[in-house]
Amino acid sequence: MSQTNTLKPEISPEDSPLKIGDIVLHSRLIVGTGKYKSFEETERALEASGTEMVTVALRRVDFGANDHLLNHIDPKKYVILPNTAGCYNADEAIRVARLGREVNNSNLVKLEVLADPDTLLPDPVETLKALQILVKEDFVVMTYTSDDPVMAKRLEEEGSTVVMPAGAPIGSGQGILNENNIRIILERAKVPIIVDAGVGTASDVTRAFELGCEAVLLNTGIAGAKDPICMARAMRYAALAGRAAYLAGRIPKKLYASASSPVKDF
């Protein structure tokens, strides 16, 4: 079956690329590499999504494994974004960030410090502590947080290059649960706001962009779909549609009708 890419370029003519540190992205989807059935499926889903940046976690080496994730992620096509997934305090997250920097030869890191494994909610206190240290060590930090506007602003003020509020709990597929919070965060932010977590289907992605988000990070929404390759493609279209609609400037919502044709005169 043909794998030709029929949707080029990735970016609308009205748009300009997203800059994160030194990195320039045309696709505004960032995709996780977890929860796929196989490396092959991972590779095909990333391709179908059109993404240019993928997140990876850091774990102990599996001795005797005959394949490796990095055999399936072409570094010429994708920027690798190491994350601190699985860390429950600042010290762990800082350690993982430093180790990730060693493997990746890059200062870019996605910081997430979770409070507990059941809710997977971010721990704001430990996140802030870790961020402060990582900024001092010259990391370019993309920070995962709840949709609390106060926390989002604090993270920006403490040096987070990008702030990433959750739409809903990780893997929950509920979309953006509180649009008002995301809108307040967007109004006050001077750094890119990227919705991260909770995305379930294409309209969730489109909605995030319509609100004004600069990008969306998702993993389960694609990997957990019945057909991940098909969903990856759907997400790609959704991102393009939402971002273009935002840039186009929508009509206002009105209580009363407004005819599209002139008043009949015969």
Partner 1 sequence: MNITVNGKSLEIEENANILQLLSHLDLHPQRVAVEVNRAIVKRGVYESHTLAKGDEIEILQFVGGGA
CA 157 from centroid of its chain's CA atoms:
21
* Secondary structure (DSSP) of 64-108: T-S--GGGSS-TTT-EEEEB-TT--SHHHHHHHHHHHHHHHTS-E
197 makes contact with partner 1 (CB under 8 A): yes
Query: Does 110 participate in catalysis according to the annotation?
Result: yes
143 makes contact with partner 1 (CB under 8 A): no
239 makes contact with partner 1 (CB under 8 A): no
Per-residue binding letters, 217-236, with partner 1 (x by CB under 8 A): xxxx--x-------------
80 makes contact with partner 1 (CB under 8 A): yes
Closer residue to partner 1 in complex, CB, 5/38: 38
> Is the bond leading into 9 cis (omega within 30 degrees of zero)?
yes
Residues in binding contact with partner 1, number by CB under 8 A: 42
CA 178 from centroid of its chain's CA atoms:
17
CA 198 from centroid of its chain's CA atoms:
10
**Three-state DSSP state, 37:** coil
Closer residue to partner 1 in complex, CB, 58/239: 58
Closer residue to partner 1 in complex, CB, 63/256: 63
130 makes contact with partner 1 (CB under 8 A): no
Residue among 8, 76, 77, 110 flagged as catalytic: 110
27 makes contact with partner 1 (CB under 8 A): no
Per-residue binding letters, 106-125, with partner 1 (x by CB under 8 A): ------x-------------
Closer residue to partner 1 in complex, CB, 30/234: 30
Long-range contact set of residues 241-244: C-beta below 8 Å, sequence gap at least 24 = 241/206, 241/209, 242/205, 242/206, 242/207, 242/208, 242/209, 242/210, 243/12, 243/15, 243/28, 243/209, 244/12, 244/14, 244/15
7 makes contact with partner 1 (CB under 8 A): no
Provide the annotated active-site residues.
110
